[in-house]
Amino acid sequence: MGSLIPFLDLNLLPDPTTTINTATICPKIEPKLEPYDEPPPLQPPQQTFFPDPNPSFFSNSQSTPFPDPDPNSPSQPPELSSEENNVYSEFYRISELFRSAFAKRMQRYGDVDVLDPDSRAIVPVSEENRVSTVVVARRRSQRSAELVRVTDLGIEDQRYFRDVVRRTRMVYDSLRIFSMMEDDKRRGMGISRRTRGDLRAASVMRDRGLWLNRDKRIVGSIPGVYIGDLFFFRMELCVIGLHGQAQAGIDYLPASQSSNGEPIATSIIVSGGYEDDEDAGDVIIYTGHGGQDKFNRQCFHQKLEGGNLALERSMHYGIELRVIRGIKYEGSVSGKVYVYDGLYKILDSWFDVGKSGFGVYKYKLLRIEGQPDMGSSILKFAANLRARPLTARPMGYICLDISMKKENVPVFLFNDIDSDHDPMYYDYLTRTVFPPFAFHQGGNGTGCDCVSGCTDDCLCAMKNGGEFAYDQNGILLRGKPVIFECGTFCRCPPSCRNRVSQKGVRNRLEVFRSRETGWGVRSLDLIQAGAFICEYAGVVLTRDQAAVFTMNGDTLVYPNRFTDRWAEWGDLSQIYSDYVRPTYPSIPPLDFAMDVSRMRNVACYISHSSSPNVLVQFVLYDHNNLLFPHLMLFAMENIPPLRELSLDYGVADEWTGKLPICN
DNA sequence: GCTAACTCATAATA
DNA sequence: CTATTATGAGTTAG
């Protein structure tokens, strides 16, 4: 069971500038009995911002706008330009600001009866607490001022939160895509501009209280969000609670809501919008916000307020910060991808003159050690790997295409653990082999006549219940019991949007040796949520044939054992109370097995997980026999390059190898 | 490359 | 003290 550590009071946090003992942290004060004349035990930080020239705060570079006083003529203040004068007066203003914040803190101090040192202890999360952390019932509720840190999540908790996050993101994506498709439909009827699906989806979800992590402000990592997770829209970060600011790069608990009157930063986005940022991965020189005009030019001095002050305070207290990077990415819907890169600490901050000659606040951030590799560096590494696999990883590649050019893209085989080459010794099968009689049953020959491309009311749309299963980009909109793609019996061109899975693998996949799972599969490309990955291919056996094979100890896969994860995809029951999961086109229980003992494809090496990132969707295209659908695999979330793919094979939690395969 | 249209959270004001 | 308004922080899609 995980824990929420309340940041009950920032006053309880170690102050790096004072000696810490319980007495100073938690003085017992009875304000009504004793006049409050003694100086409060907490001192203002030695490291004040200004105007004291503190070397750690003011850059020691020569570019500081504050020329050192000339030692030879100490009585002569240096000549200041009007610009420098402005900076000075700004500093005095901020100085006042901090002084008043500090005074407020001292005032509050008098109100505190007894600060219980035990209140810093780990508080177990009750079921009630856990739900309230994630699911916010109140509509349009404001963000909470309660600062907490979530620690010690057990496996069960992690899985729970992961599922909540994935479900939320799935709803977000569904709403976004449906919203855009609605606009496209209306576009023919005079509406020219599309409303922004990313904003619409967020707004609908906010109205229904589906935004996560609003009733607590989480410092540190967000439950259910892993390092390396990818997002295509800024609003999605808000919906998850990873970063609560629609536009600003610094998210923070404002001073007005903080327990000690000082603001605390919780997350930042490094998206390259500031010319003075220097991003070296583990170390970032981050520029505060402000000072820019509409065209992103620095044109006046930044102020030490809002997020900038919060970063400084976070540094002072040594509080960690979530870092999200916004990276240009071809092939993303928005041309950009946001990567969660983990937690950083702020080591230093100073005022500097930026490239355009205006004052900027700078913060030196260092990534906390012991975290998984950064998502952004994995993205870079994967790009190298795609371009020159043997240069990027000289050791470990056994085969550069186990499909022997049968797939559209090569399927790599990688093993840097032992000498096992097993996957090379199977014939590669790109598609499932059905028995000939499967093609002669089940209403063959029904296809559409859409020579110039399928329309929303064509026969094949009707076969799917009046709608196509994919959007224009080939993204699965909603899981169904079975999908009829256009196929052999249709007159539509190969470019028809209802032909997605039959076109085969588009991502460069890699079978790799893993200590945990034996063999596993990962992609060198980012796989967008809802995208087709590959077929689960094998040689189909009827029940009788399978019985014989089982006796021979051969390896069989039973398609009916896969969990109905398709039903989760596009499930909008949280939005519409009358939502029902699709039951059409219906499909009878599957009564066949697949032999993968001699011929198989890459899917066979995908590992099991009860919290998977890949789902099975049944699809028909080369025959209409409902008894023998193809098993097509689609991404259930944005899968970062090099992250292992996993399927819910539908057997109990414990790890027993490739689960649906029985010997 | 440019521009319209939009967002949230917080501070300030009524 | 609460409700409203103002401000400022960038992204997305055409």
Token pair recorded at residue A11: 């006053």
Residue A235 to residue A298: CA distance in whole angstroms: 25
Tell me the CA–C1' distance in angstroms for A167 and C6.
36
Q: Which helix (H) or strand (E) holds A174?
A: helix A155-187
- Using a 7 Å cut-off to protein CB atoms, list the covered nucleotides of chain B: 5-11
Percent of residues, chain A, with pLDDT higher than 70: 75
Beta carbons within 10 angstroms of residue A67's beta carbon: 12
Segment A365-382 mean pLDDT = 95
Name which of A224, A243, A234, A58 is nearest A143 in CA terms. A243
- pLDDT tier at A191 (50, 70, 90 boundaries)? low
Tell me the CA–C1' distance in angstroms for A247 and C8.
9
Task: Give the residue with minimal CA–C1' separation from B7.
Answer: A246
List, in sequence order, the alpha helices (H) in A331-477. 375-387, 389-392, 459-463
pLDDT at A35: 23
Question: Residue A579: is its pLDDT beyond 80?
Answer: yes
Tell me the CA–C1' distance in angstroms for A314 and C9.
20
Residues A252/A269, Cβ–Cβ less than 8 Å: no
Residues A345/A365, Cβ–Cβ less than 8 Å: yes
pLDDT at A554: 66
Question: Residue A11: is its pLDDT beyond 60?
Answer: no
| Residue A380 Cα distances to A321, A507, A663, angstroms | 23, 16, 41
Q: Is the CB of A515 under 7 A from strand C?
A: no
Tell me the CA–C1' distance in angstroms for A254 and B9.
10
Closest nt by CA–C1' to A245: B8
Residue A364 to residue A355: CA distance in whole angstroms: 17
Strand B: residues with CB below 7 A: A 142-143, 193, 195-196, 199, 202-203, 206, 214, 235, 238, 244-247, 252-257, 263, 306
3-state secondary structure of A461: helix
- Using a 7 Å cut-off to protein CB atoms, list the covered nucleotides of chain C: 8-14
| Residue A11 Cα distances to A122, A215, A320, A326, angstroms | 18, 22, 17, 34
**Mean pLDDT over each residue of chain A, to the nearest integer:** 77
Q: Is the CB of A244 under 7 A from strand C?
A: no
Q: Is the CB of A273 under 7 A from strand C?
A: yes
Name which of A642, A643, A620, A645 is nearest A631 in CA terms. A620
| Residue A352 Cα distances to A298, A344, A364, angstroms | 13, 21, 12
Q: What is the CA radius of gyration of chain A?
A: 30
Residues A430/A409, Cβ–Cβ less than 8 Å: no
Tell me the CA–C1' distance in angstroms for A258 and C1.
19
pLDDT digits (tens, 9 = 90+) for A453-486: 888 888 889 889 888 999 988 999 999 999 999 9
Token pair recorded at residue A262: 């000082």
Q: Is the CB of A288 under 7 A from strand C?
A: no
How does DSSP assign A573-638, residue by residue?
Answer: TTT-TT------S--PPP--EEE-SSEE-GGGGPEE-SS-SEEEEEEESS---TTS-EEEEEESS-
Cβ-proximal residues to A653 (8 Å cutoff; 6+ apart), any chain: A610
Question: Residue A314: is its pLDDT beyond 60?
Answer: yes
Tell me the CA–C1' distance in angstroms for A295 and B1.
12
Q: Which helix (H) or strand (E) holds A325?
A: strand A321-328
Tell me the CA–C1' distance in angstroms for A328 and C7.
29
Q: Is the CB of A143 under 7 A from strand C?
A: no
Segment A61-76 mean pLDDT = 32
pLDDT at A394: 92
Q: What is the DSSP letter of A367?
A: E
Cβ < 7 Å from strand C, A residues 250-269: 269
Q: Where are the beta strands (DSSP E) in A329-430?
A: 336-353, 359-367, 397-399, 411-414, 427-428
φ/ψ (deg, to 5) at A573: -65, -20
Segment A249-258 mean pLDDT = 91
Q: Where are the beta strands (DSSP E) in A441-544?
A: 483-484, 509-514, 518-523, 532-535, 539-541
pLDDT at A624: 86
Q: Is the CB of A233 under 7 A from strand C?
A: yes
Q: What is the DSSP letter of A311?
A: H
Task: Give the residue with minimal CA–C1' separation from C10.
Answer: A247
Tell me the CA–C1' distance in angstroms for A206 and C14.
27
Tell me the CA–C1' distance in angstroms for A602 and B8.
44
Question: Residue A123: is its pLDDT beyond 90?
Answer: no
Segment A137-154 mean pLDDT = 74
Q: To which residue do tokens 């003159």 refer?
A: A353
Token pair recorded at residue A54: 């503190």
Task: Give the residue with minimal CA–C1' separation from B8.
Answer: A246
Segment A480-494 mean pLDDT = 90
Q: Is the CB of A234 under 7 A from strand C?
A: yes
pLDDT digits (tens, 9 = 90+) for A521-537: 999 999 999 999 999 99
Cβ-proximal residues to A342 (8 Å cutoff; 6+ apart), any chain: A221, A227, A322, A323, A367, A368, A371, A372, A374
Rounded to an integer, what is the distance from CA A322 to the centroid of its chain?
Answer: 12
List, in sequence order, the alpha helices (H) in A297-428. 307-317, 375-387, 389-392
pTM over 0.85: no
Tell me the CA–C1' distance in angstroms for A181 and C12.
16
Q: To which residue do tokens 């076969």 refer?
A: A463
- pLDDT tier at A22 (50, 70, 90 boundaries)? very low
Task: Give the residue with minimal CA–C1' separation from B4.
Answer: A193
pLDDT at A128: 32
Q: Where are the beta strands (DSSP E) in A128-275?
A: 147-151, 217-219, 230-231, 250-253, 264-270
Token pair recorded at residue A8: 């009950």
Q: Is the CB of A623 under 7 A from strand C?
A: no
pLDDT digits (tens, 9 = 90+) for A395-440: 999 999 999 999 999 999 999 999 999 999 999 999 999 998 888 7
Name which of A349, A276, A351 is nearest A314 in CA terms. A349
Question: Residue A367: is its pLDDT beyond 70?
Answer: yes
Tell me the CA–C1' distance in angstroms for A476 and C8.
38
Lowest-confidence region among A163-177, A348-362, A532-546: A348-362
Tell me the CA–C1' distance in angstroms for A142 and C3.
15
Question: Residue A550: is its pLDDT beyond 50?
Answer: yes
Q: Check whether the bond before A51 is cis (ω within 30° of 0).
A: yes
Tell me the CA–C1' distance in angstroms for A501 and C14.
30
